[in-house]
Amino acid sequence: MQFKQLAKGFIGVMLLTALTGCGSSGNTSDSSKDTSKEKLVVQFVPTNNDGSMEAKAKPFADYLSKKLDRDVEVTLATDYSTIVEAMSSGQVDVGIMPPAAYVQAKDMDAAEAILTSQLGDYDQESGLPLKDKLTNTFKGEVLVKADSDMTKLTDLKGKNIATLSPNSASGYIYPVAELKDAGVDPTADAKMTTVNDIPSEITAVLNGQMDAAFVFEGARNVFASKFSDNDLMKDLKVLYLTEGDIPNDAIAVQPDMDKELKAKIKKVFLGMKDDKEGKEAMALWSHQGYEKAADSAYDTIREYTKKAAE
């Protein structure tokens, strides 16, 4: 399985960056780009593809425009590889990046994490959120129907499994790597089917089309409102939580971005938890706050990606 995504049409895209405001229009002796008043392009990967996220992104763009005193465009990546390509080509200035996507872009010298997100933590026994407790990591989760006779990870041998993109840490990389550690090669010993988003994975398991789904920890709670005819906490159970902790999303910028602009963006994101509009924006990704990024925290992604690809 190959995980590296190559940006296609690189030369053509680079010509466009002069128009999108992601590049500098003249020669400069400074290694950072002066983007003091140019349009800022922000991109994120939606947690579902039901069409609602685009409309919700507009208030976020307005919020950033007001806080940064500049025009901001917020776009949606179609998948995990798209945001990597957009960062590497310079089409996007700021990426709200899933961990594996960030690592790919970082290794291409196309992204610099200025912050990492904080998520609400979960009780691993009940699957319910823990009040007022934040975490900077999460687990991958394997969901099956509540009445399934599967009790351990190796029971997935011979089963149909719904997964996300091979670039998804919780939706593919971590559970695949740990299955291999347990002696089950899911590419040979099971049937994996890639689907568009987590609600589609959950639907496939509920309908019996799939035996299991690779999702992120707390997915039943996050997407409960989308399944009005089901009680996900009762209809699905957690077969397995990954042993490995997955670092949260990175707020990443172009490495050569102007230092003052980086600082402004960092300040805005750090303050989002303190006002209503900011909290509403963070809810798009279930973020509850941000903290300084430690790039070494993402090394585990590289280790697991290599293992999953073996």
Residues 143 and 238 in one domain: yes
Q: What share of the chain is helix, strand, coil (3-state, %, to 5)?
A: 40, 25, 35
- Distance, in Å, from the CA atom of 150 to the CA atom of 200, rounded to the nearest integer, reads 21
- Per the structure, the count of domains in the chain is 2
pTM (predicted TM-score): 0.84
Residue 96 covered by a domain: yes
Residues 226 and 249 in one domain: no
Residues 250 and 113 in one domain: yes
Residue 127 covered by a domain: no
pLDDT at position 12: 39
Residue 131 covered by a domain: no
Residue 221 covered by a domain: yes
Residue 301 covered by a domain: yes
Last residue of a domain, one of 243, 258, 284: 243
Residues 250 and 218 in one domain: no
Last residue of a domain, one of 211, 228, 243: 243
Q: Report residue 42: phi and psi, to 5°.
A: -115, 140
Query: How remote is the C-alpha of 271 from its chain's centroid?
Result: 21
- The position carrying tokens 């975490």 is 135
CATH number assigned to the domain comprising residue 193: 3.40.190.10
Tokens representing 30 are 């400074």
Residues 163 and 257 in one domain: no
Residues 65 and 99 in one domain: yes
Q: Which residues of the chain have pLDDT under 70?
A: 1-36, 50
Residues 199 and 145 in one domain: yes
Residues 151 and 231 in one domain: yes
Domain residue limits at 200: 139-243
pLDDT at position 3: 37
Residues 149 and 231 in one domain: yes
Last residue of a domain, one of 243, 263, 292: 243
Residue 168 covered by a domain: yes
Residues 146 and 232 in one domain: yes
Per DSSP, the three-state class of 155 is helix
- The position carrying tokens 């992120």 is 216
Residues 181 and 157 in one domain: yes
pLDDT at position 36: 56
pLDDT at position 283: 87
- The position carrying tokens 């949606």 is 76
Closest alpha carbon to 140 in 263, 258, 308, 309: 308
- Burial of 281 per CB tally in 10 Å (0-12, 13-18, 19+): buried
Residues 149 and 74 in one domain: no
Cβ neighbours of residue 134 closer than 8 Å, sequence gap 6 or more: 118, 119, 120, 121, 288, 289
pLDDT at position 50: 64
Q: Report residue 117: phi and psi, to 5°.
A: -80, 160
Residue 3 covered by a domain: no
Residue 277 covered by a domain: yes
